[in-house]
Structure 1
Amino acid sequence: MVITGTDSLTAEELDEARTVLAAAATADGREAVSEAGRLRLRADSPRPGILHLVQTLDSRPAGYAQLETTGEQAATVEAAVHPELRGRGLGRQLIDAVLEDAGPQRTVDFWVHGGHPAAARLAEHYGAQLVRELRQMRRTGPAPEPAPLPEGVTLRTFRPGEDEAAWLRLNALAFAHHPEQGSWTEQDLADRLAEPWFDPNGFFLAVRREESGERLVGYHWTKVHPATAADPELGEVYVVGVDPAEQGGGLGKALTAAGLRHLALDRRLATVLLYVDADNAAAVRVYERAGFAIHEIDVMYQVKPTG
């Protein structure tokens, strides 16, 4: 068994990592690595703070882990073992290598998509604590009725090449306390705008007209997932953000309704999904009232530093 750690994947290593992740997704019915993690899988394209660990057994792709370090005190990990090689202790060897690379001074968070039972056993072995629950919620049904916008606010769609900087500023403001969404960079946004699924007609911006021009105060970015063996084509409430100064005035409700109506009426999608943290009680209530219910749950386990 060999584990190679690198910040720049070769074409061969990339193929090995993707082989493991594709097999895991087929066997488990869900992706083993998040969208952000998959976007970082590029041959010979290092990203600051990202380490790839590729595990092979007898020259066969066996496991993959992605370690993201944040400063000197924190790290986040996503990992998978090839389904045909599970139950041989490879997962524990991969996690051992991840923890060694993270260093004893860091708190390490491990994402488990779908809450796989083997991960719970590994968490117990390492003394990890459950610290986060991310819910995937789904809604099936007709489009909701439109909701009124606050006075002085209008909707338009995203203009590539013009709106990036303003959107990044608002996103950072709206998600200032969110561990992932609020830290998006120009590269993070550019990666998604370059994805085949990106459609500016499904990216709604709320703007307030002022004497100096328009000011971006909210947005609803929708996404469409292609059909798979497990699911038909699905819509997604990819992310909804509102300027904190505008909260409480109905803008979030209006943006949510606009995106859902686009997915149902323009894209003709019966089912829409979204992700929301379980401890965000206000957002959960909003989505439940809009007809969303829990479909599956991702969890995060945390290993405390030992140094």
Structure 2
Amino acid sequence: MTSDDTAPAAPGLPGPLDQGGSPPARSLDTLAALHPEQTEAVLALLAAAARADGQQAVSEQGRLQLRGGARDGVRHLLLSVQDRLVGYAQLEDTDPVEAPAAELVVHPEHRGHGHGRALGNALLAESGKRLRVWAHGGHSAARHLAQVLGLTLFRELRQMRRPLTDLELPRPKLPDGVSVRAFVPGEDDAAWLAANAAAFAHHPEQGSLTQRDLDDRKAEPWFDPAGFFLAFRGGELVGFHWTKVHEAEAGAGALGEVYVVGVRPGAQGGGLGKALTAIGLRHLAERGLPTAMLYVDADNKAAVTVYERLGFVTHETDLMYRSES
């Protein structure tokens, strides 16, 4: 186990504690909404952390929730030293059953001074010690800070990848009576939200998406309805595969993502999910993308097996920790 004063910095839960002496003076504000200047400061901090760590410390949903004013159940924690933003955390308390979920990050230039622990303790206080925290990448420093905060491992989310340059999938075979077409913004919103809620009733993060959440994604530069496939039986939307393209950034090439695949409960078991997955992968390959990625819970053995058979292997792992309260 890495000692408190030598734990390396890492994304997500940035674990270093104070390296002796008194911690630097800091202030912490908890806000329901950010004004534009605060939003830009947080985005700049996240970008600096992503450059240093090679991955985002705050999820797509968390980044979308930085803009657009207050959102039910969402709070922002800003940690500053001498009026400079050095740490950020977001707490989302929207699940009617599970404890509030959080993500946090410290600016790479300000790690090693206890700011991660300060944010973690603030999150515990805000949540009444009922807390779940994501550690993207699952690094040793994140595990160390989780232990210091009294959190235990709760969930493992795998990012899996496979090359698309050698994609050899049989022609997708749709169940009888099912046809597939692209999503039409505005016309298909309500039907997709209903199908998504039904397909992911067991998965509150995905199944609880609202029109506002959908609109946020439709407004993103990556949104392309041509890569959002809907499967209909008669007039009923019974399944979908929404793909996403991550454009090339410094140090990383472009990626295609199996963003979300869902099938209504009554249409499951007939091969629709497999066919939709193949349709989306073919679309990404035809766009010339070299690699596809997806996220799947490690304990979803059936899905992991399906994706392994499609040639996906685990690339990295995100861990979620929770309090015992």
Q: Would you say 1:149 and 2:174 are equivalent positions?
A: yes
1:268 counterpart residue number = 288
1:8 counterpart residue number = 33
Q: Would you say 1:278 and 2:298 are equivalent positions?
A: yes
Displacement after TM superposition at 1:224 (Å): 0.3
| Bigger Cα displacement from structure 2, 140-149 vs 124-133 | 140-149
The 3-state SS of whatever aligns with 1:64 is: strand
The partner residue of 2:194 within 160, 169, 174 is 169
The partner residue of 2:93 within 49, 69, 88 is 69
Displacement after TM superposition at 1:283 (Å): 0.5
Distance 2:279 2:88 in 1: 39
1:188-227 maps to which residues of 2 (within 5 A)?
Answer: 188-209=213-234, 214-227=235-248
1:24 counterpart residue number = 49
The 3-state SS of whatever aligns with 1:165 is: helix
Distance 1:76 1:170 in 2: 25
1:110 counterpart residue number = 133
Distance 2:32 2:214 in 1: 21
Q: Would you say 1:38 and 2:63 are equivalent positions?
A: yes
Distance 2:38 2:125 in 1: 20
List alignment gaps of at least 5 residues for structure 2.
1-25
The 3-state SS of whatever aligns with 2:72 is: coil
Displacement after TM superposition at 1:97 (Å): 1.3
- Contact 1:19-1:61 at 8 Å conserved across structures: no
Aligned-residue sequence identity (percent) comes to 58
1:249 counterpart residue number = 270
- Cα RMSD after superposing both structures: 1.3
- Contact 2:183-2:230 at 8 Å conserved across structures: yes
Could you list the structure 1 runs, at least 4 aligned residues long, displaced by more than 3 angstroms after superposition. Answer: none
Distance 2:151 2:122 in 1: 16
The partner residue of 1:50 within 58, 66, 74 is 74
Displacement after TM superposition at 1:72 (Å): 8.4
Distance 1:218 1:135 in 2: 23
The 3-state SS of whatever aligns with 1:268 is: coil
Give the residue type in structure 2 aligned to 1:297: T
Give the residue type in structure 2 aligned to 1:182: G
- Contact 1:134-1:277 at 8 Å conserved across structures: yes
Displacement after TM superposition at 1:16 (Å): 2.4
2:185 counterpart residue number = 160
Deviations 1:218-274 (A, max 9, x none): 000000001012321110000000111111111111100000000001x11120000
List alignment gaps of at least 5 residues for structure 1.
none
Distance 2:124 2:226 in 1: 43
The 3-state SS of whatever aligns with 1:180 is: helix
- Contact 1:139-1:273 at 8 Å conserved across structures: yes
Distance 1:68 1:84 in 2: 27
1:300 counterpart residue number = 320
- In the superposition, relative to structure 1, how do residues 240 and 5 fare at CA in structure 2: closer, same or farther (>3 Å)? same
Q: What is the TM-score with the length of structure 2 in the denominator?
A: 0.89
Displacement after TM superposition at 1:11 (Å): 2.5
Q: Would you say 1:133 and 2:156 are equivalent positions?
A: yes
Q: What is the TM-score with the length of structure 1 in the denominator?
A: 0.94
2:112 counterpart residue number = 87
Displacement after TM superposition at 1:20 (Å): 1.8
- Contact 2:255-2:290 at 8 Å conserved across structures: yes
Give the residue type in structure 2 aligned to 1:226: E
Distance 2:153 2:99 in 1: 16
1:291 counterpart residue number = 311
| Bigger Cα displacement from structure 2, 64-73 vs 190-199 | 64-73
Give the residue type in structure 1 aligned to 2:80: T
| Bigger Cα displacement from structure 2, 218-227 vs 108-117 | 108-117
Distance 1:12 1:194 in 2: 20
- In the superposition, relative to structure 1, how do residues 140 and 197 fare at CA in structure 2: closer, same or farther (>3 Å)? same
- Contact 1:203-1:219 at 8 Å conserved across structures: yes
